[in-house]
Amino acid sequence: FVHSAYLFGLESHIAHTSINGNIVPPGALLSLIQKGLYYTEAELSIGDDGQERTFDSLSLIDAVVPEIIENRR
């Protein structure tokens, strides 16, 4: 957990903001990842015509591979 918190702080550049890193709640990284997955799935579930489309759920890896996302559009 310490390593994850360190990487989250490093990659988010939290030290270069006015955000107090001590108040970032535990699980913040996981929450952001989950929201990103939900957003990506929501985006894919609506076709260009505004109609709902069905598709298989995305894995964490699939959600960040641009080619897979483009093929599902």
Closest C-alpha among 71, 54, 53 to residue 62: 71
pLDDT in tens, 50-68: 888 887 777 878 887 888 8
Residue 1 confidence (pLDDT): 65
Residues with Cβ within 8 Å of residue 72, at least 6 apart in sequence: 44, 55
Average pLDDT in the chain: 83
Mean pLDDT over 19-34 rounds to 83
Mean pLDDT over 1-18 rounds to 82
> pTM for this one?
0.59
More confident residue, 26 or 21: 26
